[in-house]
Amino acid sequence: MSEDQKKLLETQLWNIANELRGKMDADEFRDYILGFIFYKYLSEKQYLYANSLLETEDIKDYANVTNEDDLEAIKEESLLQLGYFLLPNELFSAIAKKGNANTEVEDNFILEDLESILNSIEQSTMGTESEDDFNQLFEDLDLTSTKLGRSAEARNKLIAKVLFHLDKIDFALEDTEADVLGDAYEYLISQFASGAGKKAGEFYTPQQVSKILAQIVTTGKKRLKNVYDPTCGSGSLLLRVAREVEVSEFYGQELNRTTYNLARMNMILHDVHFRQFDIRQEDTLEKPQHTEQRFEAIVANPPFSAKWKGKNNPINENDDRFSQYGRLAPTSKADFAFVQHMIHQLAENGTMACVLPHGVLFRGSAEGTIRQYLIENLNYLDAVIGLPPNIFFGTSIPTAILVLSKCRVHSENVLFIDASKEFEKDGNKNKLQEEHIDKIVTTFRERTTIDKFSYVATMDEIIENDYNLNIPRYVDTFEVEEAVDLNEVANALQALETEIAEVNTTIADFCQQLNIKTPF
């Protein structure tokens, strides 16, 4: 599929989303439109797979299969390969056709059917390997919500209209070389994020930042055993890593239930097999879900300066993730608690890159103690990358990427990059362009000192700065101002005085002619 065709698909899906937009807030209609797209994807996947099984049968079109034995055989294979099952009359096209039938001759009420089908998808996975991946996946699609319409008939009409438009779009699932629908889904998520205000930060990391993190953790690698995001949001950051190298397994944890559902949908829509991902819903700091696992790559954009229980929960002081550092991260700022958690989960050959507020670089007290232990005792800090302000949804604060590794090649120094001015305006936000991303990643990989952009600091320099990592201490961005020629300034002022005197004379002459008082 060409770039123009991809753009057309994105536009078509966004226009359909706007069918719902006037009815509810951005984050609410997001859940409906993405849920319906996901249902259509599952249907088309089921249809194509079932047809592949029917190639040697008399009836080759799954939509026409009625034999119970054939359906049971297809179900058995589908649960093994796809992880779910849909009957022919449960396919998206069938329900869309019914919803838009001629009301004079056919029943076109589909709300009950649609709810039953979505429940059936989940129920088909009960007792199978994919059960956890589909459990309550459609719980945010409340088809009884009055925001879709005040009456059942109004809701039915709106949903049928949306399904009709979606049914006409070709998702090109047979094109195995291109992840067209996955790209379009990512586009929609980013569009919703741009209109969701502060809530956007809960589920989406801007793609330009995701790309930097992904390229950093995959440096020097062609394949990853696994990748992990402890605050995975919609899962976009995990999937971004898979665009750089082949990834065998994806792991993530997300606190928000709705966002957790979105992450699972996003994985499946990007054709990640249900056996390849494990996304859990729970508080990462209080109830970590993958404690026995160690990960080759970790990427994260944790909630900035979030509150956590810290010392108010006695268990944390003896938790292996936090106990060795001497202090717990403050209850009002969990930034370093997330860092400590990720270090604990990092494999010995692993690299992690996470986005944090600038305060982690220089704040004192408990955070200063943790920062010093990280550098002096563990020596895991590999690079500090300052990003431009106002590039994240929901906040305008400047941020930094911390890169940490347990197998550092350059253990005697730390790379500092000041990319705070590497952006272009994009509406009311700042945006890193491809050349900015390339400059950051290339500098990281080549580990070079560039005037006013990067600096390789020795450990002695960091110790001299009392483990303060504030980037201006290492990267000098001071611009020398041009020398001022005072004689030139004096001559300019004198010329200005002469010009003013001439203008005053002209004004006085006009005032005299008009027989009015001069203003000076």
Task: Judge whether residue 498 has pLDDT over 50.
Answer: yes
SS3 88: helix
Task: Please report where in the chains the tokens 């001497």 appear, as a residue.
Answer: 326
CB 440 within 8 A of CB 422: yes
pLDDT at 378: 97
In Å, what is the CA distance from 308 to each residue of 199, 203, 332, 358? 19, 19, 7, 19
Enter the CATH code of domain 197-473: 3.40.50.150
Bridging pattern class, strands 413-418 and 454-458: antiparallel
Residue range 419-457, pLDDT digits in tens: 999 999 887 888 999 999 999 999 999 999 999 999 999
Task: Judge whether residue 355 has pLDDT over 80.
Answer: yes
Dihedral angle at the C-alpha atoms of 175, 179, 180, 182, nearest 10 degrees?
140
Q: Are the folds of 3-184 and 197-473 the same?
A: no
pLDDT at 149: 87
Other beta carbons within 10 angstroms of residue 330's beta carbon come to 19
Task: Judge whether residue 88 has pLDDT over 90.
Answer: yes
Query: Helical H runs in 291-427?
Result: 335-345, 365-372
Task: Judge whether residue 200 has pLDDT over 60.
Answer: no
Mean pLDDT of 154-172: 89
Task: Judge whether residue 20 has pLDDT over 70.
Answer: no
Mean pLDDT of 38-55: 95
Task: Find, among 285, 301, 298, 289, the residue nearest to 341 by Cα.
Answer: 285
So where are the chain's domains?
A: 3-184, 197-473, 484-520
How many helices, marked H, and strands, marked E, lie in the chain? 16, 11
pTM of the entire predicted model: 0.87
Higher pLDDT, 372 or 20: 372
SS3 323: helix
Least confident of 81-90, 257-266, 487-496: 487-496
Cα-to-chain-centroid distance, residue 498: 62
Task: Judge whether residue 100 has pLDDT over 90.
Answer: no
Q: Report the distance separating Cα 53 and Cα 49, nearest Å.
A: 7
For the domain made up of 3-184, the CATH class stated in words is mainly alpha
Task: Judge whether residue 364 has pLDDT over 90.
Answer: yes
Specify the amino acid at residue 7.
K
Task: Find, among 160, 179, 147, the residue nearest to 27 by Cα.
Answer: 147
